[in-house]
């Protein structure tokens, strides 16, 4: 970790905070603001303290190291597109005829000898300092409490190492872990994670499961931990492929799990499958709090570290944050692997304000009528892509998916009732909009064809449109139109909700000659001038089967908060936000800089 700090310092990508700053809210709030800046830098806090615990820590806290494209390139050590190209070549590797072809194949094959991790014996760098038994105390590590409604302190960038019951498969994942007490952690394993698959094996046999959590070390371990590798493939194979050298692993002292030799901390322990405890709430990367639920508990039996460790953490919440760049790298690098099951795929993009699994844009080669609709179902069946809620497909004539303005116009010129598929399937465990946990509606939009033929709309001023709508429904407080020069003008409608939005949508039929798509949001909480954050709110708040209304060339989307009106029986979560008093105090102390425009831009 010290190597990356020095590298960041050399490239002017590091801010060092010398002042004492609290691990509860203050450090995370500083990182949250920093992550949203155009010149975002990594943050090294030299004097973390805890007023709650009455502690001063001599362990620095490092945050936001994935906070820019420049930082990403330094961590990977090479261009992301070059890595993607290498993987593509690996996928196409075959023996050509003749001696030269065989020699080239052998040369390439030998270049892969450094991919598998290497297990070494003896004591590791991460085991220079050892605490076992009664000396184990998680409160001696500056583990952060991020948000006001969080259930406690959470490890947010831990590398969780597990193995299958027979020891033949290894897995590396990144899941949040809540500190329950000095030697117990709640493990947030979602049902689709490989760690949970292993957990079920141990549970079936009534055996305790070994788990080790590495914190720090080479930052590339962190990215590998969140990479969507197929089941059974150890994520550190990616490390070897990218670095061109084997990851060096050392055995944990109190369980059989192997971890990186250069980690700053290692928390070792065991999980009793019968021992579950309430975990949460936690302000997650969706920008909403996830509720309290029962999750496995890890008993920490040993804590090892370097002699001078650094604690590595991240902050999650409303976009844009650090995972924006981690997600971009994942999308580019895994494109060749995705093409092996969907060969017609040309490119795909997961916008950060779509919270990645909530929205995907995909460019494909269409070969026959209905190809895109067939492709949607194939896409929803591929690994972690199966958790995507909303998928929009365009043809090879579409502009770059990363050109948000152009691709939006391209899509809106191709929206019709016939091109919309509303389906259902599994959802991410963090999705709150669906009426049932882990299962809900999905939207597919086929925009691979020509522009739709529709009557030109009579576009009128927002104030005039508001007057007309208010006569039809008194609860409407404001409207804002976007993309009025496309075949699908979009109107955001801020409403004080008193009835079902489907009823309001029917009341507003007379305005269909002025607009084509109505999107309903809550007037009390949503700024309809801010399209970036509106998209974040919409894709979070809708279940396609319940919240999309389709008539003949007139559509509605209900992105309001759901409750008894809709028969929604789950707990609708609060939006994650900073503690205003903490933020104001940090600004007075000169630890953060922002103005009112900055706060409005990111709905802080």
Burial class (CB in 10 A: 0-12, 13-18, 19+), 70: middle
Write the pLDDT tens digit of every residue in 221-271: 999 998 887 777 889 998 998 998 899 999 999 999 999 999 999 999 999
pTM of the predicted structure, to 2 decimals: 0.92
Q: Selecting from 3.40.50.620, 3.40.1670.10, 3.40.50.1100, 3.30.300.30, what CATH number does the domain 342-447 have?
A: 3.40.1670.10
How confident is residue 192, by pLDDT bands cut at 50, 70 and 90?
low
Confidence at residue 393, expressed as pLDDT on a 0 to 100 scale: 94
Cα–Cα distance measured from residue 125 to residue 261, given in angstroms and rounded to the nearest whole number: 6
Residue 506 has pLDDT above 50, yes or no: yes
Residue 387's alpha-carbon distances to 192, 382, 442, 468, 575, in angstroms, are 9, 9, 9, 40, 22
What element of type H or E holds 99?
helix 98-110
Q: What is the DSSP string of 42-62?
A: EEEEEEEEETTTTEE-SS-EE
**Residues listed for the chain:** 604
Contact criterion met (CB below 8 Å) for 527 and 600: yes
Confidence at residue 249, expressed as pLDDT on a 0 to 100 scale: 97
Residue 232 C-alpha from the chain's centroid? 22
Which residue spans within 255-377 are E strands per DSSP?
A: 258-260, 265-279, 282-283, 289-290, 293-305, 311-313, 345-349, 360-364
How confident is residue 102, by pLDDT bands cut at 50, 70 and 90?
very low
Residue 105 has pLDDT above 50, yes or no: no
Domains 342-447 and 462-566 share a fold: yes
Q: Is the dihedral of CA 96, 98, 102, 107 positive or negative?
A: negative
* Annotated domain spans of the chain: 2-77+113-313, 342-447, 462-566
Cis peptide before 320 (omega within 30 of 0): yes
Confidence at residue 113, expressed as pLDDT on a 0 to 100 scale: 61
Domain 462-566 coded CATH 3.90.700.10: no
CA-based nearest residue to 482, from 428, 408, 551: 408
Which amino acids are annotated catalytic? 284
Q: Selecting from 3.30.1370.100, 1.10.150.20, 2.60.40.10, 2.30.110.10, what CATH number does the domain 2-77+113-313 have?
A: 2.30.110.10
CA-based nearest residue to 341, from 304, 384, 302: 384
């Amino acid at each position: 970790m010290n190597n990356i700090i020095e590298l960041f310092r050399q490239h002017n990508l590091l801010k060092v905070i010398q002042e004492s700053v609290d691990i509860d809210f203050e450090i995370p709030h500083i990182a949250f603001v920093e992550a949203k800046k155009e010149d975002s830098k990594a943050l090294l806090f030299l004097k973390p303290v805890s007023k709650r615990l009455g502690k001063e820590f001599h362990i620095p806290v490092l945050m936001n190291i994935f906070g820019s494209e420049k930082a990403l390139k330094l961590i990977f050590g090479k261009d992301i597109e070059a890595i993607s190209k290498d993987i593509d070549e690996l996928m196409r590797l075959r023996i050509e005829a003749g001696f030269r072809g065989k020699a080239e194949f052998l040369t390439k094959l030998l270049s892969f000898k450094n991919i598998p991790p290497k297990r070494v014996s003896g004591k590791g760098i991460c085991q220079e300092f050892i605490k076992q038994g009664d000396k184990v105390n998680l409160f001696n590590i500056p583990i952060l409490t991020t948000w006001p409604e969080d259930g406690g302190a959470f490890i947010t960038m831990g590398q969780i190492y597990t193995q299958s019951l027979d020891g033949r498969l290894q897995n590396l994942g990144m899941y949040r872990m809540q500190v329950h007490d000095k030697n117990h952690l709640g493990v947030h394993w979602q049902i689709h994670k490989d760690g949970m698959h292993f957990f079920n094996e141990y549970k079936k046999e009534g055996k305790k499961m070994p788990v080790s959590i590495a914190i720090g070390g080479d930052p590339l371990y962190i990215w590998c931990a969140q990479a969507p590798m197929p089941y059974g493939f150890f994520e550190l194979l990616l490390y070897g492929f990218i670095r061109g050298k084997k990851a060096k692993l050392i055995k944990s002292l109190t369980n059989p799990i192997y971890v990186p030799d250069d980690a700053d901390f290692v928390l070792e322990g065991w999980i009793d499958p019968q021992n579950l405890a309430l975990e949460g709430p936690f302000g997650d990367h969706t920008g909403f709090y996830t509720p309290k639920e029962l999750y496995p508990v890890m008993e920490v039996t040993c804590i090892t570290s370097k002699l001078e460790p650094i604690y590595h953490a991240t902050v999650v919440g409303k976009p844009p944050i650090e995972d924006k760049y981690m997600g971009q790298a994942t999308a580019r690098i895994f494109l060749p692997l995705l093409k092996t099951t969907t060969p017609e795929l040309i490119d795909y993009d997961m916008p950060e304000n779509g919270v990645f699994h909530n929205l995907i844009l995909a460019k494909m080669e269409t070969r026959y009528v209905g190809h895109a609709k067939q492709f949607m179902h194939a896409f929803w069946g591929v690994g972690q892509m199966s958790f995507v809620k909303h998928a929009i497909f365009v043809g090879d004539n579409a502009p770059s998916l990363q050109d948000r303005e152009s691709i939006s116009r391209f899509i809106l010129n191709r929206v019709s009732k016939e091109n919309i598929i509303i389906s259902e399937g599994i959802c991410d465990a963090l999705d709150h909009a669906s009426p049932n946990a882990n299962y809900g509606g999905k939207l597919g939009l086929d925009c691979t064809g020509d522009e739709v033929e529709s009557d030109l709309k009579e576009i009128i001023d927002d104030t005039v449109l508001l007057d007309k709508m208010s006569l039809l429904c008194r609860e409407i407080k404001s409207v804002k139109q976007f993309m009025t020069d496309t075949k699908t003008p979009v109107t955001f409608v801020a409403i004080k909700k008193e009835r079902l939005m489907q009823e309001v949508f029917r009341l507003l039929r007379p305005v269909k000659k002025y607009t084509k798509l109505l999107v309903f949001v809550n007037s009390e909480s949503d700024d309809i001038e801010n399209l970036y954050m509106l998209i974040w709110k919409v894709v979070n708040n809708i279940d396609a089967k319940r919240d999309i209304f389709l008539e003949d060339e007139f559509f509605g989307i209900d992105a309001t908060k759901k409750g008894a009106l809709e028969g929604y029986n789950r707990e609708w979560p609060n939006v994650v936000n900073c503690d205003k008093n903490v933020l104001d105090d940090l600004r007075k102390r000169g630890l953060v800089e922002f103005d009112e425009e900055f706060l409005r831009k990111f709905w802080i």
